[in-house]
Chain A
Amino acid sequence: MDKKVLLIAGVLVAALCLVARMFYLQIIDEHYKVSAQNNALLYQTQYPARGEIKDRNGNTLVGNKTTYDIMVTPIDIQEFDTADFCMTFHVDINDVRRKLKNYRENRRKIGYQTFTFIKQVSGQDYSHFAEKAYKFPGFYAISRTARVYPYEAGASLYGYINEADSAYLANHPEYRRGDYVGITGIERSYEDVLRGKKGYNIMVRDVHNRIRQSFKNGEYDVAAEPGKDLIASIDGPLQQYGERLMKNKVGSIVAIEPSTGEILAIVSAPGLTVEDLSNIRKEYSRLATDPYKPMFNRAVMSAYPPGSVFKTVNALIAQQNGVINSETRFSCSRGFYYGGGKMGCHGHRSPLNLKESIMMSCNAYYANVFRAIMKDPAHQPISEAFNHWKEQVNKFGIGVKLGSDFPAELPGTLPSTKTYDKIHGKGKWSAFNILSLAIGQGEVGATPLQIANVAAIIANRGYYIIPHLIKNAPDSARRAKYTEKHWVDIDRQYFDPVVEGMYLAVNAPAGTGGTARRAHIDDIVVCGKTGTAQNPHGRDNSVFMCFAPRENPKIAVCVYLENAGAGGTWAAPVASLIVEKYLRGEVLRKEMEQYVENTDLKHNVPVKTKKR
């Protein structure tokens, strides 16, 4: 009979295992009592304040204000005075009725779920609601933060936030419907830093769904963690000043601190105003259809022909490749003539050496330089020379994405041998077919950010740090990315004649042929290079890039004005004003300032207004 005892003992042991499990689940393990899927518990989400964005001087660029979302748990709704409700929130009574009807019809499906009923109610309306909330069972308010822009500048950079849409939710499981997320600009690039962490209060409800009290006195509540503040590299006053100068112009200003790659100001005109940004939902369709495309950030997206400023790049590459040196001279008789073609030039003395060619921006000189690069015996045939040249240009950040923290940044354009094979046939093109690349015309396109970066490279005599907007990126990956020096592999001594040429272009005595004399500032040494880029639509684009002071440069600037004419005429003075404003803190050349500010160049730009 001991089999019977064994069997019963076995049954008891098995039962004991089950009892142990019950004991564990029901008494020891608290986890199942606070589980989010436990529908006796109501998790009231606590939304964190989104991180603020400040400029490099501590001015708040993007801040927060408290608004309220009115939430509803349809199953808790009892009869209430809809008219009073609508008065309180200034909403349409038919809207409310429609929603309520919808809840009634879907009540089985809805169950205990909670929805947002009205979004972004002002503090005033909320306080009215709070007084009589008892009249509206089922409704309650949660505080949310909305963005404010106290500093009137930089609206094109910040981007806006909106509720995450279905596509975003599908890819980001940590977001819930109703969460705000950065859609563009800094708000998007630094979403992970700015958003903070949601918290929750746990409330207990009984089977009739009445909320009883806080669960275990809030022992398991999790406080919301506010988002981290960001410090932008932007100089608020400079940004504001740049936007003021560009008010009636189309184009961009980019100013970079060369030693750090920090963007001091970045203007795309016409751009957004902070008012537009605060009311983006209302203004969106107007902004999206504006023929001047204010939402298009020209500074990082537009691939413009760089024009003559690109000569500096060719000068550096040619020296490095040993096909010219600083004393190489080429003659120019109002242009460069080749097999039946001609690249025109303006009148200046001839022949010129390297620094003079920069100073006076001689086209013929660079036609010769470029031909020399393409005929470099070290790299033949021409396709090989071209590819080598292209790699070198890419090192300057042209034709590739720089990797800035603008989500919308584009790479510009730089052709490949394939492009020319297609146009002329494989092996059937020579340096003359691509000669416009010598002077930054033709198939090359650079964004103003890339041009400013070239100025920074020259200012640094050989390297750049990826231009970026945020100084205090919290993660080491981004910190490393935005402090790493990118060397362009041009020896330092080759920069000297280029810098000297840029110095002379601005500071040479009148009458000696400097192209950028309007950029001259009395006690600040500016080095600059003009560009006048042909624009198939209307007048030439006016381009200027510069840095200052000559030694230990503090600022590198690119100004690009569409259809404004010669680079020395408009872009140079704008850039010099930016330099002066930043280095001196104020502009002494009031006359110049007035002249620039009051000139309308916007209406030179041929815009196509869409007709429907």
Chain B
Amino acid sequence: MRGAAYTNSPKARRVDLGLVLSYLFLVTFGWLNIYSAVYSEEHAFILDFSQRYGLQFIWICISLGVALTLIYLVNPRNLPPLSPVFYVIMLVLLAAVIFLGKEVNGSRSWFFIGSFGLQPAEFSKITTALLLAFIMSQYGFSLLNRKDVVRSALVVLIPIILILLERETGSALVYVGLILVFYMEGLAGWVILLGVGLIAMFVITIAASPLAALVCAFGICSIVRFFLNRNLLWLLISIASTVLMCYIPELSKTETFGFLNILKPEIWALVIMTPYIVFWVKDIFVRKESREGRYLIFCLALAVVMVFSVNLIFDKVLQPHQKARIENLLGITEDLQGIGYNVHQSKIAIGSGGFTGKGFLNGTQTKYNFVPEQSTDFIFCTVGEEWGFLGSVLLLAVYIFMITRIIHLASKNKDAFTRIYGYCVASIFLMHVMINMGMTMGLLPVIGIPLPFLSYGGSSMMSFTILLFIFVRLDMERQMKDAEF
């Protein structure tokens, strides 16, 4: 019976049902939520094509058509060799939109054909993933080879730069997630840890103080070093230094130590940690230090540089609205009418949902444009309000299922191209879901990127569908091979 089923419709049987079903769930759920978010009694028909839910239905239909095309009509063997071509075409579009595109909300990332907009940045994720998979899957590629590192990094960096030039910071940030692909393909784990650590330094410096960041960095590094060399004396010295650093602000208030005020506390912290570091460097020169110890002091140095350049980054690199969003998130400034308005409204909407939510179409908060952009970037508000904690967790669970399923299928695949491409898809989805939900719930600064398959919009719906179904199609190859064996 089974064999007969295979021969009758071999391909339909072999698509990964889990991915396809979660995809169908997400687009349907998204469509219902857009309907609810835009709903008004004057246009109650869900297929009213003058409204966003009507249009979204069209996008869903087209996307389904594209998905079916990918599954039935595309030969995945052609994809790797064609990926440089796609990539270059997309770079041209990305560059062209900077000059020819229309400015929307301060960024130049849209082409308009009639009333329909097209956002190349959405689609360049696909081409970047394809080319990255193509390059990294070539025979002999290794992240230990510097030339290969540069090549693969350029594949990611070029679109990032172009997208930054379009002032679509959010979309550019998504590419940072591709670091996970490098990690899975051989990049050392500590690089990612270092990245996370530097971000933490940035946040602590802004939210607390540079001194606090230095205390954390120095404290952690010296404790880790203790586990490397088990030298109790140096542990005690570092603990003493750390405690001393903590007391700088208190001491500088007293009269005896009033002279401390002539320098900033973070400078004094540097002075205090100097002896420890000097002996550490000495150990390196007399080759007593382990390899990990050398990496560690490199990390500490980076952290210190980070702390002292935060103000520069914050004031010079970031644009004023980005700065304001970060300050708002960290509670440094509160401006519920201005920059904090979206997030405040969105938190109210989500928070008012409670455990079970207010029910479909019963959300009061997401109606009448209380939450701006609520059918696009802030669609999760409607979910949170109308479906409550249960619905939100379920939605997140579906995403996590989808992402882990992709990682699982990719890692099982013997074909390097499919595997790497899968990791790319998973990390892109992961970035989108985390950033979008984190932003709507006030965990992350406002970064305008869509929630995959839920947010209103043709470009994003299409690009996520293509991204996912190329993987579904590639994954079918493995299953067919399995079946042949």
Q: How far is the CA of A26 from the CA of B189 in the complex (A)?
A: 35
CB < 8 Å neighbour of B355 from A7, A11, A27, A111: A27
With both beta carbons as reference points, the residue of chain A lying nearest to B359 in the complex is identified as A207
Interface locus among B3-11, B202-210, B400-408: B400-408
Residue interface bits A483-502, CB-to-B below 8 A is 1, else 0: 00000000000000000000
Q: How far is the CA of A479 from the CA of B380 in the complex (A)?
A: 55
Is A37 a contact of B370 with CB atoms below 8 Å?
yes
Please give, as numbers and ranges, the residues of chain B lying within 8 Å of A206 by CB-CB distance: 362, 364
CB contact under 8 A between A38 and B411, given known A12-B400, A18-B437, A25-B351: no
Residue interface bits A1-41, CB-to-B below 8 A is 1, else 0: 10110111001101101110111011101011101011110
Is B364 a contact of A19 with CB atoms below 8 Å?
no
Residue interface bits B431-445, CB-to-A below 8 A is 1, else 0: 000100110011100
A401, CB-defined interface residue at 8 Å: no
With both beta carbons as reference points, the residue of chain A lying nearest to B355 in the complex is identified as A27
A205, CB-defined interface residue at 8 Å: yes
Interface locus among B155-163, B222-230, B341-349: B341-349
Please give, as numbers and ranges, the residues of chain A lying within 8 Å of B354 by CB-CB distance: 26-27, 33
Please give, as numbers and ranges, the residues of chain B lying within 8 Å of A3 by CB-CB distance: 183-184, 189
Q: How far is the CB of B354 from chain A (nearest CB, A)?
A: 6
CB < 8 Å neighbour of A4 from B368, B411, B434: B411
CB contact under 8 A between A31 and B443, given known A1-B411, A8-B404, A207-B361: no
Please give, as numbers and ranges, the residues of chain A lying within 8 Å of B452 by CB-CB distance: none
Q: How far is the CA of A4 from the CA of B426 in the complex (A)?
A: 12
Is B350 a contact of A32 with CB atoms below 8 Å?
yes
The tally of residues in B whose CB lies under 8 Å from a CB in A reads 43
Is A26 a contact of B389 with CB atoms below 8 Å?
yes
CB < 8 Å neighbour of B384 from A22, A31, A111: A22
Is B189 a contact of A32 with CB atoms below 8 Å?
no
B12, CB-defined interface residue at 8 Å: no
B479, CB-defined interface residue at 8 Å: no
CB contact under 8 A between A38 and B389, given known A3-B183, A18-B441, A205-B364: no
Is A4 a contact of B407 with CB atoms below 8 Å?
yes
Question: Which residue, A8, A21, A22, A205, has most C-beta atoms of chain B within 10 A?
Answer: A22
Q: How far is the CA of A17 from the CA of B438 in the complex (A)?
A: 9
Q: How far is the CB of B306 from chain A (nearest CB, A)?
A: 22
Please give, as numbers and ranges, the residues of chain A lying within 8 Å of B403 by CB-CB distance: 11
Q: How far is the CA of A23 from the CA of B350 in the complex (A)?
A: 10
Is B430 a contact of A11 with CB atoms below 8 Å?
yes
Is A40 a contact of B364 with CB atoms below 8 Å?
yes
Is B443 a contact of A21 with CB atoms below 8 Å?
yes
Is A7 a contact of B434 with CB atoms below 8 Å?
no
Is B443 a contact of A18 with CB atoms below 8 Å?
yes
CB < 8 Å neighbour of B352 from A19, A23, A33, A207: A33
Q: How far is the CA of A40 from the CA of B365 in the complex (A)?
A: 7
Please give, as numbers and ranges, the residues of chain B lying within 8 Å of A6 by CB-CB distance: 189
CB < 8 Å neighbour of A38 from B348, B392, B407: B348
B293, CB-defined interface residue at 8 Å: no
CB contact under 8 A between A25 and B350, given known A19-B393, A207-B364: yes
Q: How far is the CA of A26 from the CA of B387 in the complex (A)?
A: 11
Is B344 a contact of A37 with CB atoms below 8 Å?
yes
Q: How far is the CB of B330 from chain A (nearest CB, A)?
A: 15
With both beta carbons as reference points, the residue of chain A lying nearest to B392 in the complex is identified as A22
CB contact under 8 A between A7 and B441, given known A27-B389, A39-B370, A207-B364: no
B396, CB-defined interface residue at 8 Å: yes
Please give, as numbers and ranges, the residues of chain B lying within 8 Å of A11 by CB-CB distance: 400, 403-404, 407, 430
Query: Which residues between 307 and 357 of chain B lie within 8 Å of chain A, taking CB atoms?
Result: 344-345, 347-348, 350-355
Q: How far is the CB of B206 from chain A (nearest CB, A)?
A: 20
Is B389 a contact of A207 with CB atoms below 8 Å?
no
With both beta carbons as reference points, the residue of chain A lying nearest to B364 in the complex is identified as A40
B388, CB-defined interface residue at 8 Å: yes
Is A37 a contact of B348 with CB atoms below 8 Å?
yes
Query: Which residues between 180 and 195 of chain B lie within 8 Å of chain A, taking CB atoms?
Result: 180, 183-184, 189
Question: Which residue, A4, A6, A25, A40, has most C-beta atoms of chain B within 10 A?
Answer: A25
CB < 8 Å neighbour of B388 from A17, A26, A37, A112: A26
With both beta carbons as reference points, the residue of chain A lying nearest to B429 in the complex is identified as A11
CB contact under 8 A between A38 and B352, given known A4-B411, A7-B184, A18-B441: yes
Please give, as numbers and ranges, the residues of chain B lying within 8 Å of A31 by CB-CB distance: 351
Please give, as numbers and ranges, the residues of chain A lying within 8 Å of B180 by CB-CB distance: 7
B14, CB-defined interface residue at 8 Å: no
Query: Which residues between 37 and 75 of chain A lie within 8 Å of chain B, taking CB atoms?
Result: 37-40
With both beta carbons as reference points, the residue of chain A lying nearest to B443 in the complex is identified as A21
Is B430 a contact of A17 with CB atoms below 8 Å?
no
Q: How far is the CA of A43 from the CA of B352 in the complex (A)?
A: 16
Is B365 a contact of A38 with CB atoms below 8 Å?
yes
B363, CB-defined interface residue at 8 Å: yes
Q: How far is the CA of A22 from the CA of B352 in the complex (A)?
A: 11
With both beta carbons as reference points, the residue of chain B lying nearest to A12 in the complex is identified as B400
Is A4 a contact of B396 with CB atoms below 8 Å?
no
Q: How far is the CB of A226 from chain B (nearest CB, A)?
A: 30
4 tightest CB-CB pairs across the interface, nearest first?
Answer: A32-B351, A40-B364, A25-B351, A26-B389
Q: List 29 A-B contacts (CB under 8 A).
A: A3-B183, A3-B184, A3-B189, A7-B180, A11-B403, A12-B400, A15-B399, A15-B400, A18-B434, A21-B441, A21-B443, A22-B396, A22-B441, A26-B350, A26-B351, A26-B354, A26-B355, A26-B392, A27-B355, A27-B389, A29-B351, A32-B352, A33-B351, A35-B348, A38-B352, A38-B364, A207-B358, A207-B362, A207-B364
